[in-house]
Every structure is written in structure tokens, then in C-alpha cells.
Chain A
Amino acid sequence: MKHVPIIPASEITPREIYQGRREFIKVAGLGAIAGAAMLSGMSFDAAAAQSPRRKIGKFVKTPYGSDEKLTPYEDITTYNNFYEFGTNKSDPSQYAGSLVTRPWTVNIEGEVKRPKSIAIDDIFKLAPLEERIYRMRCVEGWSMVIPWVGFPLADLIKWAEPTGNAKYIEFITLDNQQMMPGQRSGVLDWPYNEGLRLDEAMHPLTILAVGLYGEVLPNQNGAPLRLVVPWKYGFKGIKSIVKIRFTEKMPVSSWMKAGPSEYGFYSNVNPNVDHPRWSQATERRIGEGLFARRRKTLMFNGYAEQVGQMYAGMDLKKYF
């Protein structure tokens, strides 16, 4: 079915080596730029935007999405919606260098036995890390296939010990204008927040991601910790999480506040329920070039078999 080109192992440049080459080019280039910047007396902070790529030591491969063709790393890390760094797709990769992800603490609060906080390095050890290759469908009508590294959100929830009152879970992004200059604009109600029903959060497909392509998550993709819910539109996958709150009532997310008629709490991928302003029936797969045809969008982004029963009997036009 899928054509896998056969490349002899001897032909493949090891990542260390090509990384080294790129590093060299980058350092040489930055040297020249820095020199020029000094000459012109201007500050130049693009150097900070390029955080070094680091491998994640240990994670296990899983069969999820192994039949999918991965979207190139370059596209996944340069075509982003992360309004905390600007509203253009290229802004996050250009400006997310100002985000400092160490030290980083996530606070757990609300309907839990007792509030807790956990450092990012301990989150890495909370559960065995796995690679999950998921389709990601943006509400704007494009999609990617991303090899995430992370662990089931359910593992963190068990560790957090929610009380019987907890029906929903709310996530909150860092609120810091210095590190996230896009928060100076009023385009959304900061800090960004998102929510899930507890059964959605406990679903085995729902993960917290700490990496992609076997490497630590780049800042522009939501470092150091982000949510991935593959059957929902991409904006549900909240980035750079600092707070997780268990609640009895349904949280109101930033996008629900921004456009109540356009963005609902569920935001499940659904080709039959259009965005009020554009169609959701098809999508453009990123990385396929100028002459590729749009694909048909699948119910629940193709994960209907696994998640469909959670919404049985619900009017998905009403609960969009």
C-alpha cells in the first residue's frame, strides 16, 4: 500500500553529523549577523530564538499511526498557531526563543485531594514516555501527521488524585508578557485556557506531549508540556501548560470567549458541522506541495472507532 523507499543504512546521514553541519552553518551565520548587528549598534535577538535541539533519552515506539506519512520536521516547527508569539504562522518559530522552559512547574488545583505542584523534570518521570504518531487537524482546514513523544494524560490524573466532584479538567498556559510578547495584544483573553470532560481526559488517546520527532518539544510547539487530543481541532491542544485545575463545572475556554458562535467546548473534528464561516468537509495536508488535492476530513479525525461512544446520543450540531 504505502511505498517506503529503500535507502541503504550506509547512505543515511546520522543525525549527529548533519546536526553538526547545521550547527556549524548556524554558528557561522550567527557570527556574521552578530558582527553586523554590533557594527550597526542594533540588538539582535534571533540567536535566542534558536534553542538547541535535544534528543529525548528513552521512549518506546507504539503502533499508533505507523501507516501514516510524517509531516516534515521543518513544516511542523515553522507553521504554527501560537498567538502568544504573534498571529502569523511564522511568528512562533521566529519569536518563541524568549520562552524559558527550565525551571518549569505545573500546579495542580481545584477538585483534588490536595493541591500539588510538580517540576517538569519529574513530569518526564511520571510515566514511561511513548511515541504516538497522530493526525492533527486545525480548525482552519489544514492537517499534519506528527510523531509526538509523551504519556497518557490519565497517568497524570491518577497521580493528581481528583475528588469525586471533578467532572472537567481545565488547563492554563503561562501568563508572562516578557516571555510571550504576543500577550501584549488583546487578540485573545490571556492566559490561554482549554478544557476537557474528565472521560475525554482519561481516554487512552489523550496525551501530554513533551517532545516530537524523538526530541524535546521546540518552544514554538508548546514546550515544555502540551496537550494533544487527536480527535479534536488543534486549538484544543493547549501549549506551555503551567496549571491544571479539576472542576465541577464546564470551563469556558479562550476561544469560546473569543467567538461563542464559532468555537464550542467540544470542538471535535466533524466534517458535517461547518465552521460558521468556512467548510470543514475537507482539509489540506501540510507538506504535500502546491499541486496536491485536499483530503476528505474524517469524523473525529479518523478516531471515531476509539472515541465515538463518548458522544453517543449527543447532538453534535448543538455541542460543536
Chain B
Amino acid sequence: MQRNNLIINAKIAFFVIALLPLARLVWLGLTDGLGANPVEFVIRSLGTWTLVCLLVTLSVTPIRLIFGINWLVQLRRMMGLFTFFYVCLHLLAYAGLDQWFDWQAIVHDIAKHPYVLVGFSAFVLMIPLAVTSNQAMIRRLRQRWKMLHRLVYLIAILGVTHYWWLVKKDVSEPFIYAVVLFILLAVRVYYKRPRLLGTFWRPDKAATGA
């Protein structure tokens, strides 16, 4: 009962916090606070918050592994869906505010420029994850659901690469995201190394084969 209350409260809190970046943009937009290049500001901000949400989502497992806090898993779907929410807004701002829905220009931009292609690929890969995030799909797909949702690792790498490739010269900010992502992935590898090793190297089988 108490545990349920905790989770409900945590969910409400996360929901409100996750909407703050959007609320800030709306507020800045209404008060002429988006600066000299408001379109770039909005797109960059939405991209940044997509990455932040993604890294927050990916930090659930490491926190569980290190600190044994298991109930956070119950918030993970909401975190993932907020990541998808922000990436949709990011893409909408790019397509609408920047490109004025000039589809020809957008297709050309995606095909010709690797940083756009990488970012767009990450978005496309997120669609099946968002679609299969409900309880019914989890039950229906079972083991395949787990396999499918491992795509998130690739998505995160593509997302950070997208940021890294778009900055003109100073990569210090994308570097921070890369380091955080590396740590989050490294913790998983460290804790799961017996099982990971097992899939590649099975001494028992090797012995019987000899």
C-alpha cells in the first residue's frame, strides 16, 4: 500500500518535472525571451531535453544494479515516452519552424547530411519502442519485447553522435553526454559480465567438444 503511494507520487512528480522544459520554452516564447535566433534556440533546447530524458531513462538499470532501488523501473515507461515526446517536438520544430514543411528540402537534408541522418535514424528506431510500450504489447511479445527494446542502446549512441557531429568546433558539451552514456552502459556491462561472457564463451561446451 505504502509502496503504491510512493510510486504514484513519484510518477506525478516526474510527470510535472518532465513538462518544465516545455513550459519554459512556452514562457520564453511569450515573453520574447528566445534570443536573437529563436528557431535555433527552440530546436536545440528540445534536442537537449530529448537527450536528457533518454539518459535519465537509461540510468534506471544502473541505479538498480548499484543501489538496489528496484521500484524506479515502474517509472521507466513514462521516462521513455517523455523522451519520445521531446524528440517528436524536436523534429516538428525542425520540419515546421526551420524548414516550413518543405518535404523535398527535408528529405534532401536527411539524405545528404550525416548528422541529420543519424538523428533521424534514432527517431525512426524510437517509433517501435513507443508503439510497443503498453502492457498488452509487453505480454504479447514476451522475450522478443526485451530484444526489441535493447534498441535503446543504439538509439542513445546515435543521439549523442547526432549532437557531436552538428557542433561547429567545440565538442565539450556533446562530450559530457558521451561520458554519461558511456558510464551508464559500462555499469551494465560490468554487472552483467558473467552472463555476457557466458554467451560467447562456454567452458563446459568447449570441454565436451574437445
Contacts and interface: CB of A to CB of B under 8 A. Distances in A.
Contacts, number: 60
Contacts of A293: 100
Main secondary structure of the interface of B (DSSP, over half): helix
A290 B33 CA distance: 11
A139 B168 CA distance: 10
B114 A277 contact: yes
B35 A187 contact: no
A213 to B, nearest CB: 15
Interface in A259-284: 259, 274, 277-279, 282, 284
Contacts of A284: 37, 39-40, 98
A259 B170 CA distance: 12
B170 A87 contact: yes
Interface residues of A, number: 30
B102 to A, nearest CB: 9
Nearest to A287: B36
Interface in B91-105: 97-100, 105
Contacts of B99: 294
B37 A277 contact: no
Contacts of A277: 113-115, 165-166
Interface in A279-311: 279, 282, 284, 286-287, 289-294
Contacts of B39: 284, 290, 292
A74 B36 CA distance: 8
A142 interface: yes
B169 interface: yes
A320 interface: no
A75 interface: yes
Contact of A286 (B37, B98, B166, B170): B37
A308 B39 CA distance: 32
Contacts of A104: none
Nearest to A255: B169
Contact of A279 (B38, B42, B109, B172): B109
5 contacts: A87-B169, A87-B172, A140-B168, A142-B40, A294-B99
Interface of A: 74-75, 78-79, 83, 87, 89-90, 139-140, 142, 185, 187-188, 258-259, 274, 277-279, 282, 284, 286-287, 289-294
Given A185-B170, A293-B100, 18 more contacts: A78-B35, A83-B170, A87-B172, A139-B168, A140-B168, A187-B170, A188-B169, A277-B165, A279-B109, A282-B105, A284-B39, A284-B40, A287-B36, A290-B29, A290-B34, A290-B97, A292-B39, A294-B100
